[in-house]
């Protein structure tokens, strides 16, 4: 599409041949809901990640750890191509858009069933979406406004109608260029079983039920989530090839590497440059491709210190981003000069971030009487920050100490941190973003969102929001790219974020696993993956 540059360097569809060592076999394998039976080593693929999901209901979560699991359980009306964010049919086999861009008519697949046996139909789609629209949505639905908009404010989904059993009509309050891509996102957009919603009081965080190639078996908190192949899956092209999938939670990077190298895991993510040789020397392989992400420090623009743009600029001058990125991430990340990924329009290398100038920072911070700030951060590695937030925060703490400012750091595990950014008082925090849909609005809209779990800078600028609204309604092409470039320049001028880095997507895997997909959006599709003996 016009808004995207070709991603020529990215190999998202992993076709690797090799195998898990004998030590990688788990002795018990899932055969039914909540039960296990003996099986061969090739029946199960174990994926090691850094933390539990926040939950497994797409309406109630906003994190990558949840998304990696949910994308194998649920499906969306439309989906992305394996190696890009190009839109393809999924639960909706075709769609039509009215000339004014306000009405979307989607024709649904027939004969599809949810994992609990409930029929997939237009009524299910209506219920799945409407629970996230006003007035039904609640404050615990972080992606609802991001994906479906807010009709009372003149944007987003106005109505969802089941025209007949197999036709859904969605009407928007205003035209939205990224809406089709939003319908393919793994957060908020997946269609859930209406029966399961009724049975679980409208929240499937611990009882996920979709139409996908894998169904949910169990979640042992702090240990793993177990999925099994959906034998009744409707789409022969995506039918699960491996019987069982286990997502295993291992918080420490080194421990995940050990688990891979001794065969406890078949694939791991959240790794960094320090363990690459260890992985390769053990006979395992490295997935290494440019990511669609941004790692950043956010200023709380409502704090007593950083409500002042001059304070934000002075603080930013104390941080040598280029040196920081090289020392922390080596060759597996690039210093960010932009919110947008390097290969994605409207990226512009000439967007001017606050330049490093320690001497000026020291004078300006002293003049503003800034001697200490409160920082909150996370301990777990993230796809956009493989070192974890504490390591990054401490590196910046050292730089600010040299200019006379004490940075007081409070660190939390990732799940707790996601709550703390909404409830805790702080001056700065560390966060990041992996793009959901390949559209520039998906990045720049973060700074216009009213939900502080998205907009951790708590930035509220009417001119900026007006640009975002204009970008939403403008067709793809140069004019639209220019709008988002204006957004980029405004954020840089106002020093709302201190962009740190764009990381490569890194994963270690046993070479006898092949055909798993690490998508640009950060999700991991395992339905096509196999493991040879």
Looking at mean pLDDT, say which of 61-65, 129-133, 504-508 comes out highest.
129-133
- The chain-wide mean pLDDT, for the chain, equals 90
pLDDT of residue 224: 98
pLDDT at 308: 98
Cβ pair 222, 228 in contact under 8 A:
no
For residues 90-110, average pLDDT? 97
Q: Do you find a cis peptide bond into 135, omega within 30 degrees of 0?
A: yes
User: Is the pLDDT at 2 greater than 70, yes or no?
Assistant: no
Give residue-wise pLDDT tens across range 292-330.
999 999 999 999 999 999 999 999 999 999 999 999 999
> Residue 126's pLDDT is what?
98
Q: CATH homologous superfamily for 293-504? A: Dipeptide-binding Protein; Domain 3 (3.10.105.10)
pLDDT of residue 40: 63
Which tens digit of pLDDT belongs to each residue from 348-391?
777 899 999 999 999 999 999 999 999 999 998 888 998 999 99
Backbone angles phi, psi at 82, to 5 degrees: -55, -35
pLDDT for 129 beyond 90: yes
- Kindly state the percentage of the chain with pLDDT values over 90: 82
Q: Are 20 and 510 in contact (CB under 8 A)?
A: yes
- The per-type count for the chain, helices as H runs and strands as E runs, is 15, 24
Q: Are 211 and 234 in contact (CB under 8 A)?
A: yes
The pLDDT, as a whole number, for residue 23 is: 31
| pLDDT for the residue numbered 253 | 86
- Tens of pLDDT, residue by residue over 268-292, are 998 888 999 999 999 999 999 888 9
pLDDT at 341: 85
Q: Which value, in Å, is the radius of gyration of the alpha carbons in the chain? A: 23
Contact 204, 56 (CB under 8 A): yes
CATH class, range 75-207? alpha beta
CA dist 378 → 296, 387, 443 (Å): 13, 10, 21
pLDDT single digits (tens) 497-529: 999 999 998 999 999 999 999 999 999 999 999
Q: Where in the chain is the domain with CATH 3.90.76.10?
A: 75-207
Q: CATH 3.10.105.10 residue ranges in the chain?
A: 293-504
Q: Read off the DSSP letter of residue 446.
A: G
Q: 167 pairs with which residues across the strands?
A: 107, 164
The pLDDT score that the predictor gives to residue 5 is 28
pLDDT of residue 346: 72
Instruction: Write down the residue that tokens 């858009």 correspond to.
Output: 97
Q: What is the mean pLDDT of residues 401-411?
A: 98
pLDDT, mean of residues 105-128: 98
User: Does residue 41 contact residue 533 with C-beta atoms inside 8 Å?
Assistant: yes
pTM above 0.85, yes or no: no
Residue 187's nearest CA partner among 86, 84, 63, 77 is 63
Dump pLDDT digits (tens) for 6-46: 232 333 333 332 333 333 333 333 333 333 333 467 899 99
Residues 223, 239 contacting (CB under 8 angstroms): no
When mean pLDDT is compared across 38-52, 59-73, 169-183, 492-506, the lowest value belongs to 38-52
Q: How large is the average pLDDT for residues 60-88?
A: 95
Give the whole-angstrom CA distance, residue 298 versus residue 523: 25
How far apart (Å, rounded) are the C-alpha atoms in residues 195 and 58? 16
* Average pLDDT of span 458-479: 94
* Beta strands 267-269; 44-49: pairing state: parallel
Asked if the 1-73+212-284+510-533 domain carries CATH number 3.40.190.10, the reply is: yes
Share of the chain above pLDDT 70, in %: 92
């Amino acid at each position: 599409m016009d808004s995207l540059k070709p991603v020529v360097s990215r190999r998202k569809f992993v076709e690797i041949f090799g195998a898990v060592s004998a030590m990688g076999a788990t002795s018990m394998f899932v055969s039914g809901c909540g039960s296990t039976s003996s099986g061969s080593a090739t029946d199960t693929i174990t994926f090691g990640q850094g933390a539990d999901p926040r939950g497994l209901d797409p309406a109630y979560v906003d994190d990558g750890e949840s998304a990696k699991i949910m994308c194998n359980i649920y499906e969306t009306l439309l989906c992305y191509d394996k190696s890009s964010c190009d839109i393809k049919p999924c639960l909706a086999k075709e769609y039509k858009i009215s000339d004014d861009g306000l009405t979307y008519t989607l024709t649904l697949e027939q004969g599809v069933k949810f994992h609990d046996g409930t029929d997939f139909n237009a009524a299910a789609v209506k219920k799945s979406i409407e629970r996230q629209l006003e007035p039904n949505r609640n404050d615990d639905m972080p992606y609802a406004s991001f994906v479906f908009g807010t009709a009372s404010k003149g944007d987003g989904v106005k109505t969802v109608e089941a025209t007949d059993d197999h036709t859904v009509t969605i009407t928007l309050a205003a035209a939205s260029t990224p809406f089709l891509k939003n319908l393919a996102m793994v957060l908020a957009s997946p269609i859930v079983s209406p029966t399961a919603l009724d049975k679980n009081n409208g929240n499937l965080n611990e009882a996920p039920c979709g139409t996908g190639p894998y169904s949910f078996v169990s979640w042992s908190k702090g240990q793993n989530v177990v999925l099994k192949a959906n034998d009744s899956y409707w789409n022969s092209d995506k039918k699960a090839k491996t019987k069982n999938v286990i997502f295993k939670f291992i918080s420490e990077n080194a421990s995940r590497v050990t688990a891979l190298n001794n065969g406890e895991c078949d694939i791991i993510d959240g790794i960094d440059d320090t363990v690459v040789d260890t992985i390769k020397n053990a006979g395992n392989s490295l997935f290494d491709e440019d990511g669609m992400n941004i790692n950043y420090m956010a200023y709380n623009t409502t704090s007593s210190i950083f409500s002042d743009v001059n304070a934000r600029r002075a603080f930013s001058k104390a941080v040598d981003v280029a040196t920081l990125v090289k020392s922390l991430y080596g060759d597996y990340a690039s210093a960010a000069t932009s919110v947008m990924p390097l290969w994605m329009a409207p990226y512009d290398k000439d967007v001017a971030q606050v330049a490093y100038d320690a001497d000026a920072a020291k004078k300006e911070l002293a003049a503003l009487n800034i001697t200490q700030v409160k920082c909150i951060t996370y301990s777990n590695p993230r796809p956009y920050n493989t070192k974890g937030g504490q390591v990054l925060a401490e590196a910046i703490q050292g730089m600010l100490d040299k200019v006379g400012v004490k940075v007081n750091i409070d660190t939390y595990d990732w799940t707790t941190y996601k709550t703390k950014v909404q409830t805790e008082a702080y001056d700065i925090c560390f966060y990041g973003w992996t793009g959901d849909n390949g559209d520039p609005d998906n990045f720049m809209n973060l700074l216009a969102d009213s939900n502080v779990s998205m907009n951790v800078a708590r930035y509220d600028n009417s001119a900026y929001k007006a640009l975002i609204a204009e970008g939403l309604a403008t067709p793809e092409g140069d004019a639209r790219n220019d709008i988002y470039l204006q957004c980029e320049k405004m954020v840089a001028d106002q020093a709302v974020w201190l962009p740190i880095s764009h990381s490569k997507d890194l994963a270690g895997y046993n070479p006898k696993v092949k055909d798993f997909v690490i998508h640009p959006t950060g999700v991991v599709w395992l339905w096509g993956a196999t493991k040879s003996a």
